[in-house]
Structure 1
């Protein structure tokens, strides 16, 4: 899931001329994780991807 969202973000930046944004990417991962958990991917919630912090 993370690799797919990274690829989509990269393509968005390349083809739409948008600057890469780690906050947007992490938000997309968190949103996708939430949707997967809502439909029953219970073990995915234990990964806590959405709680990653950006150093900077």
Structure 2
């Protein structure tokens, strides 16, 4: 078999690797965003509780 018979297989592997890489980065970014949002909500709750305690 020549190189050209493996060429479409190599292209498909690279194509799927790029797609899975992009999906992984999106998944990682969304998880980071959600965790930062939860941390922000926790900090805001602490600030509100401290402001209420000072009254």
Q: For this structure pair, what is the TM-score category when the shorter chain's length is used for normalisation? A: 0.3 to 0.5
- The higher-RCO structure (CA 8 Å, 6+ apart) is 1
Normalised by the length of structure 2, the TM-score is 0.37
User: Higher helix share goes to which structure?
Assistant: 2
Normalised by the length of structure 1, the TM-score is 0.36
